[in-house]
Structure 1
Amino acid sequence: MATKSPSKPVARPGDRIVVESERVGQPPREGEILEVVESAVGPSYEIRWEDGHQSSFRPAAGSARIIPARKVPARR
Structure 2
Amino acid sequence: MNENRLLHDFSKYKLYCDKFVSTSARSLNQLFREKNLLLLERKAQGKPTKFEHDLLLLDYAEKNPISYL
Q: What TM bracket, shorter-length normalisation?
A: under 0.3
- Higher relative CO (Cα under 8 Å, sequence separation at least 6) belongs to 1
> TM-score, structure 1 length as denominator?
0.21
Larger strand fraction of residues: 1
Larger helix fraction of residues: 2
